[in-house]
Structure 1
Amino acid sequence: MHSTPKHLRSNLTAFLMIAPLLILLAIFVIWPLVYAFYLSGYETYYNRPAEFVGLDFYKFVLTDPLFWSALWVGLKYSLLVVPTILVLSLLLASFIKTLSGKMAAILKTTVYVPAVVSVVLTGLVFVFMYQDSGVVNAFVGMFGIEPVAWLNNDSTVLAAISVPGIWLGFGISTLIMLAALLDIPESYYEAASLEGANWFQRTWYITIPMLKNVFLYLLVTGFTLAMQEYLIPLIMTNGGPVNATTTTNLFIFNQFRDTSAFAFTYSITAALILFVVLGLLSLLIFKAIKSDKAVDG
């Protein structure tokens, strides 16, 4: 009984410590979502009051083949970018770990550079690289291959715009992976080596299981960011050719720029549906790699 006031004070202190975070969360996350859902129920006009239409716009979006096409493009883009980043980051982080202090510092600084480069600048640079006289066609020309219209061919364009996406996300993922690798005790690898395990076996049975939490984090954040990508396709192809690179967010952005009366509500509704899709995708990733075991170690 005498411990009750102390317990209450402890709870109050804990609440006061997290109150600023809860307030910011309510202002910048919860309230915008609630208000967006409210707006999705109204058809907005420029010259007269908004009209309540209920869930009509959800039906419009969910029956629009262009929306589903954009969602599929975003998923394909994510599947090209995220797994590639994870594999390359693990390989480079493993290599950096073997280097001396000075060389490791130089390489860590170098790989971090893409993280601070503008997406717009990156997109423009890669557009020039993919031109007929660009460095990419100059390279393939060394093998007797004719110049390829990388950004005008629907069979190559998605892979082409995935490369700058990989380049932009590669650096920070490598550093996160490296930090996790350095936390793995060397004694594990030494014991495995004494048992005759080669590099692949040490990586498969020690490194990857020990990095499960990191893989989970990078998978969820990577897919969430990649599915929301719109700047790279906007700058490099403007969604073309024939919507081959129109990702979901670019589709929503184009709808928002439309001058029709229902464009505003349509874009909000599509964005809310994308929010739900990303939430479900994150849950699937957690379930697929058994996140409960990952978190418990």
Structure 2
Amino acid sequence: MANTAQMRITGDFMADYLPGEPLALTSRPRIDDVVIQLFSHRSINEPITVPAVVEPLLVLVLAGAARVEERVPGGEWEATEVSAGDFFLTQSDDPYEMRWQTHGGETFEVMHLYLGLPLIERASRELSGQASAPLRLRDVSGARDSHITFVLQQLRSELIEQRTPSALFAQSLAQALAVHLLRSYPAETQAGRRVNALQAYKLRKVTEAMTAHLDDEFSLAKLATLAELSEYHFSRLFKRATGLAPSQYFIRLRMARARQLLLESQRSVIDIGLEVGYSSASHFSQVFRREVGVTPSEFRGT
């Protein structure tokens, strides 16, 4: 095996450097500028060196929970507690080391998505309005983003569950994701450093509280108190961890729950709006259309 400290690889070859069992995606169409891999991991006590990858790498935890530790070679370990729904994002020019300990003897299932540079460049040109160097993404560890989770689950469903998966549909999802990442997670000016964001356990405590009270009025003060921070510092660190302001993240959680109920239940649009905190059907429809792109009824197909 080549010396990972002196090379950068493409996503197609990452499976050669990672332990665990890659889950085969048999008879799937090839998608231009997109590489998707599924892995099932057990605990890794000895550090592994992850080579720098040419493309931005997005990793979504699909199942299980683990304590994941990362460091630059020879540096201090940075630990993050993660479970299903958490994601990692990296566009590092240098290799780094990882190890992880799964909880309860469970396997730790993840999905890797590599977005090709042409895809990133197209999204970057559209956002910047000029042919400049592509925008870079920052490193994020153990954060949550309902939009990322939704798109990656859609990609997984299309490629695994559909009998005749559509490369065009998968490509459009990947393009939309590239735009979201560039908007929400642009690199800080200090390259190569992990972002000083809200600690993972505090982020989890806050997002779980949000999810449990989607029908309540949003309160920045309550969330900041839960995180034991001032409102200013909580808002700043929360946005660094998730790419969204707390209020916007709360709306995204509401819309994710509304989408689920619209697809999986026969409840009325009014009832679903009430469950996610909107006493006015017109207000719910307005917010849903702004966030999702269609009205609740159109999303349901009725």
Instruction: Normalising by structure 1, report the TM-score.
Output: 0.26
More helix by share: 1
Name the structure, 1 or 2, with higher relative contact order (CA <8 Å, separation 6+).
Answer: 1
More strand by share: 2
**Is the radius of gyration larger for structure 1 or structure 2?**
1
